[in-house]
């Protein structure tokens, strides 16, 4: 065999190895990106469920909660009252009106049936509400308190993913870094999520 043929065979083998390495690195990157997108979509869905539970909890109890046991028990056993409000306007002789609001409680609906019914969430388990999808059992960080805003005490809530699957999501003050998925704020009156 001539040196040219040996060189050609060696070059062919090296090209095949490099081609396989390139294909494998690209396909594994695509698979990892798809896995991250899927897990983050599940985290966002869970954060939306927690937000709905917190808003319902506040409507019944007058404040948000930072206790997972209270929130999970509320989802399992809590009730949302059905209320009807009527405004009665009484005209006054001097031209003004007096408004009287009449509130009637018509009944109640269990929280689980109202927010997390079988048609919307067929595999919903209330005890898994605090668990971050894809984290191996870690819980979301939940904060709820009252803060002073404009001279008034207002309720705030924040629920945050403490174990982001995306390595680009970090808790930092840099502008270009993605923040961990969360909704609400510790310092502002909001329940919007940072994915919205």
Q: Is residue 94 part of a domain?
A: no
Token representation of residue 146: 């009252």
10-residue averages of pLDDT along the chain (196 residues): 81 85 81 86 91 91 91 90 84 81 83 84 87 88 90 90 80 67 89 86
**193 in any annotated domain:** no
- Global pTM reads 0.76
The number of CA neighbours under 13 Å toward the Cβ of 56 is 28
| % residues pLDDT > 90 (the chain) | 22
Tell me if 107 is assigned to some domain.
Answer: no
- Following DSSP, what letter does each residue of 123-145 receive, concatenated? T--GGGTTBPTTTTSPBPEEEEE
Q: Are 55 and 157 in contact (CB under 8 A)?
A: no
Structural domains in the chain (count):
1
Domain presence at residue 192:
no
59 contacts: CB under 8 Å, gap ≥ 6: 80
Residue 160 lies in a domain: yes
- For residue 34, tell me if it sits in a domain: yes
Would 106 be classed as within a structural domain? Answer: no
Quote the CA–CA distance of 69 and 79 in Å, as a whole number. 16
Q: How many CB atoms lie within 10 A of CB 46?
A: 20
Q: What is the structure's pLDDT at 88?
A: 85
The H or E element that residue 88 is part of is strand 79-91
> Can you read off the two tokens belonging to residue 165?
């699957």
Determine the structural domain holding residue 160 and report its residue range.
3-78+119-184
């Amino acid at each position: 065999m001539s040196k040219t043929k040996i060189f050609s065979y060696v070059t062919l083998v090296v090209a095949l190895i490099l081609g396989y390495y390139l294909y494998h690195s690209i396909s594994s990157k695509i698979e990892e990106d798809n896995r991250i997108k899927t897990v983050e979509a599940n985290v966002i869905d869970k954060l939306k469920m927690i937000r709905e539970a917190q808003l319902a909890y506040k409507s019944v109890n007058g404040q948000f909660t930072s206790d997972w046991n209270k929130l999970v028990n509320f989802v399992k056993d809590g009730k949302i009252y059905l209320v009807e409000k009527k405004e009665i306007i009484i005209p006054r002789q001097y031209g003004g009106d007096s408004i009287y609001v009449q509130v009637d409680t018509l009944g109640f609906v269990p929280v689980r049936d109202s927010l997390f019914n079988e048609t919307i969430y067929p595999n919903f388990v209330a005890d898994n509400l605090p668990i971050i999808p894809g984290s191996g059992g870690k819980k979301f960080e939940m904060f709820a308190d009252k803060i002073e805003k404009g001279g008034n005490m207002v309720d705030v809530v924040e629920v945050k993913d403490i174990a982001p699957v995306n390595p680009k999501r970090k808790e930092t003050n840099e502008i270009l870094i993605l923040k961990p998925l969360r909704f609400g704020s510790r310092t502002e009156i909001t329940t919007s999520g940072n994915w919205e």
